[in-house]
Each structure stands twice: as structure tokens, then as C-alpha cells.
Amino acid sequence: MTFCWQTEWFRTCMPLFSCLLEEAERIAAGKNGDLGKMGDLLGQIEHVCDPVEELKNCHYARQMMNVRSALLDLTQTDQKAELAAYTLLPFLWELREETYFWGCVAEDAQKRKAYWQEEFVSHHRRVNPRRTEPKKVTIFIPACNHLDYTKQCVESVLRHTDLRACELLLLDHGSQDETAAYFHTIPNTKVIRFRENVGMLMFSVAFRACCGRYLAFVSNQAAKAARGKYVMFLNNDTQVTEGWLSHLLDCLEREEKALSATPVTPFTSNCQGIAPCPLEGLEDFAKEFHEKRKGNWRHRARIMPVIGVYDVAKLDTMGFGDRWFQTMEFWDDDVSLRARRKGFQQFLCTDVYCHHFGSVTGGVAWGKTLAAGQELFLQKHGVDAWGQGFCRSEDMIALLLEMKLPETSISFLAVDCGFGDSIFEVQNYLKEQRKQVQTYALSEVEGYRGDVFPFVQGWHTAVEGTAAALTNAFAERRFSLILTEKSGLSGEILAERLLPGGYVLAMDSELTKYFRLAGRKGHWSLWQKM
């Protein structure tokens, strides 16, 4: 037997969770379930878990209260099957997983590694096989207080979305104002009430509850739980625009490897932002914005989903939000990295504009929680989330505009580019120029192979060193463009690998003997072979 059930208290809890879930499944299937028995089972779990120190600093207790509230709601409605399917079952699965992870896994590095490798995906799949409504998209809108912004968000969705093909889930995430009452006034929707704010668990509950092929996040995270840098980007202070969903779905359905599609919004980090449009001209601006940029979808190494639409079937193969990132910091970086390692792509749809007010729920904590999230990412993946090739370089991107490549077919080599964000940006640029590109990657670090290999035509690990590999691995191949984030490569070696007039886009390199300087910005320079 593996470590999974060897913690004594959880061994005791497992039969109780199994009985709870069995009763909830019966109710969701339209059969009679014993609600009193379920209440007793919850009491037994509370009794077993109360002495467990690891559970006192996670969302376990608040999620237990949410489960009890959902159980109480079932006693007061005639729609028990539907309510159990999209509230009680997802709530219970999250309670079970929260209990298991924080009580049995989190404190032991080896157990965490085994969990992420062997269990995570199966533990995070949707749990509503009986929900068979023919809906294409599940749109969920979480809110915690700030009712005026929530109303604007919901009303924009109602105004600009064909809800005949959509399931609308409205999540009241522990609000103290009239949010819950307002949600119940919206026709043809489902309302999930979190009486207690449970932070990131909200994402997993919504994912487990959805029945659509696609899952759309229109707004995110609540005031009490949004404590970090991303509070201003993960709020319910958004407004969608005409055609927003159909345009994003167009990207998802045309790009075979697409996991997600995200629009351009104001007040967003990760170089996804744009200057805000005045609200009085929002609709005309968004329409013109789309017409000028139609089909301009940029493959990005990571995406911050202020508004994002995800392919649910692909999420089922990789799992979604990891509760390890309990402060919300770097959870999106984690999703992005895991997606890339599955061979999935995330697109910033620069032809879709939606409005984001920004920083509605409070200030930004740049200190403790941000550093803690970065450390959690390092512990999980063994790499720095802000390390080589994971962050975009606007300086490098600006230099691409200086290139004049006459060929329609481009051979492109990336040398020691880490996670590969710069590789994707070069590919994006060449695609926008209607160039056909063949991409090859060379790295001294084999660990980056999984991050880059699914998106290139060839990969070579430079075990003999970068300079030797350039000569040996590509002795018969010449390139139109070489991108390198490694200093110290000689101009002679690079020149040998380039076609006449080809370019080297390099970080901190001096190549004056064989090349002419075509542009320089920050730490980046563009050289053309003479």
C-alpha cells in the first residue's frame, strides 16, 4: 500500500466520506437520501479531525460549515436532485480533498511529490457525470460584497451572451451585503452559496459543478481571501462586451492545442493590459478593436485569467487549481506550467477587449504573500517562477519589429531560452507576419525540455556545451534567426549557423566582427549577418 491512506485519522475518516458521498450521489440521482444520517456522519468527521493540528491553518473548518449549510438547504427545497448535483457533491469532494491534502500530504515533501505525480489529476476531475444538460459553456461569476460592481458584471453578461448555450453559475463567496438576494433575482441561473469564504477552493468547487464543455471565468476572488498581488486582477469588477464569448470560443475551437483563451483588459499585469476605454464608448471601442485585430491570438507562456475561457476536457486531464497555493499567489503560473508540459497552449486574444476596473477590493500586498507564493512554486516545481524564459521581455519583443525577413519560410533556432516565453513571442511575431516557421531548440538544461519540446520541431540537449552543440548538432542546417539568452557565444560560431542576412537576437552579446548592429534596447541587441 502507498502512503495515501496510512495516516490513522484519515483511515478512520475515509469510510465516513465514502458514506457521505454515496448518500449525496443518491440524492443527485433523484433517489431518497438520508439527510439525518449525513448530518451524523459530518459530526463524526469533525470529531476525528478536531485534534489534527495540520487542519487548523487551512480552509477545512470553513468548508465544513459550507457543507452543513448546503445540507440544510436540501431540507428546505423540493429541487433536491439538482441542488445536490451542483452544490452538495462538489462541496463534499472539496472537503474530502482539503482534509486529505492538508492532513496527510502537505507537511511531507516526498508525499507532496507523489501526490502531484500520481493522484492530483484523478482527485481533481469533475464529479457530475449525471448532469447531462446540453450546455456548451458554464459561466461562473463569483462575488464577495461590492454589489454595485457585481451588478454591472452580471448585467453585461446577460446583455452580451447567448445564454441558450450557457449555464450561468452565480457564486456568493461569503458576502455580507445583498449579493445573495440579488443573485436569486436573476432568472435561469444556478446560485451556489458559500456562507464561508474558502479562498481558492471556490475554483475547484465551480469546476466540479460545471456541466459545460467550456468553463468561463468572468470574475474571480473575493475581498476577504484575495490577499496578494493579484487581488486587482482576480475580482468581480469586470464588464464583458459584444461578442466576447463567441470570439474567445473561436480561438479555442480553431486552435487544436488551446487550453484557454483570454481577452485584453485594462489594469492587468503579465503584459496583458491595455489603456482603459471610457465606459460611455465601451461598446463601439470593443467592436472596432475586434474588427482591426480579428484572429490575432498570441500563444503565451503563462496567462493571468481576469476573464478566461477554458477547455474543460483538457482541464480534466491535468487538474485545475492546486490548493498548495493557498494565498492565491502563483496559482495561475502553476496552471500555465502544467498546461505547457501537457502540450496545451494558452492564448491571449488581442482581438477581444473587455473592461476591468481594477483594485476594487483593496490594496496590493507586494511583500509577504508574494514572496511566499514564489517559494511555494519553487518547492513544487524546483524552478523559479520568475526564472529564465518564464517572464516576457518587452525589450526583446520591440526589437522584432526591426527585422526584415524576406523569406516566407523561416528556420528559427532558440539557444538556452529556459522556459521558452521568448520562443513563443518570436513564433507569435512570425505568425503575424504570415511567415511559415520551423523552430528548433538547444539547451544545456535538459529540465526545460518538457516546457518547450511540444512546441518546436526539434530539440537538442547540449551535454557537450552550447558552443560545441551548435557546431555538432546543426552542422547541416542554417537558420534565418537565432535567439539566445546565453552570453558569451562567439560571433564566428553564430555566423556559421546563419543564412546570409540572417539575424541574431541576443542578450548581452557583442558580435561586431561578423555582424552589424540592427537595434538595441535594454539588455537585448539585434545583429544582422554581414
CATH number at residue 288: 3.90.550.10
111/3 Cα distance (integer angstroms): 7
Identify whether 129 is part of a domain.
no
CA-nearest of 69, 25, 72 to 198 is: 69
Based on the domain organization, do 169 and 208 belong to the same domain?
yes
* Distance from the Cα of residue 257 to its chain's centroid: 15
Q: Mention every residue, 6+ apart, whose C-beta is less than 8 A from residue 328.
A: 199, 200, 221, 225, 226, 227, 228, 230, 231, 234, 369, 373
H/E stretch holding 155 reads helix 147-160
The reported pTM is 0.89
Identify whether 515 is part of a domain.
yes
Based on the domain organization, do 174 and 41 belong to the same domain?
no
Based on the domain organization, do 103 and 158 belong to the same domain?
no
Based on the domain organization, do 90 and 144 belong to the same domain?
no
Based on the domain organization, do 175 and 292 belong to the same domain?
yes
18/337 Cα distance (integer angstroms): 33
* Distance from the Cα of residue 206 to its chain's centroid: 14
C-alpha cell at 307: 476573464
Domain span at residue 489 reads 394-529
Total number of domains constituting the chain:
3
Q: What is the CATH number of the domain that holds 507?
A: 3.40.50.150
Based on the domain organization, do 32 and 88 belong to the same domain?
yes
336/327 Cα distance (integer angstroms): 17
User: Would you tell me how many other CB atoms lie within 10 Å of the CB of residue 370?
Assistant: 18
C-alpha cell at 86: 451542483
Residue type, 102: W
With 0-12 / 13-18 / 19 or more C-beta atoms within 10 angstroms meaning exposed / middle / buried, residue 163 is middle
449/299 Cα distance (integer angstroms): 18
Half-sphere exposure of 311 (CA within 13 A, CB side): 22
Based on the domain organization, do 257 and 223 belong to the same domain?
yes
**Tens digits of pLDDT across the chain (530 residues):** 344 556 888 989 999 999 999 999 999 888 888 899 999 999 999 999 999 888 988 889 999 999 999 999 999 988 898 889 888 999 999 999 999 999 999 999 999 999 999 999 998 877 665 555 567 898 988 888 889 999 999 999 999 998 888 888 898 888 889 998 999 999 888 888 898 888 878 878 888 888 888 888 874 333 223 232 222 234 678 899 999 999 999 999 999 999 999 999 887 777 777 788 888 888 899 999 999 999 999 999 888 877 889 998 899 899 988 999 887 788 888 999 999 999 999 999 999 999 888 766 544 444 567 888 899 999 999 888 887 777 778 899 999 999 998 888 999 999 999 888 999 999 999 999 999 999 999 998 888 888 899 999 999 999 888 889 988 888 889 999 999 987 678 999 999 999 999 999 998 888 989 999 999 999 999 999 98
Based on the domain organization, do 375 and 457 belong to the same domain?
no
C-alpha cell at 498: 546563419
CA-nearest of 53, 106, 121 to 376 is: 106
C-alpha cell at 55: 487542519
Based on the domain organization, do 368 and 441 belong to the same domain?
no
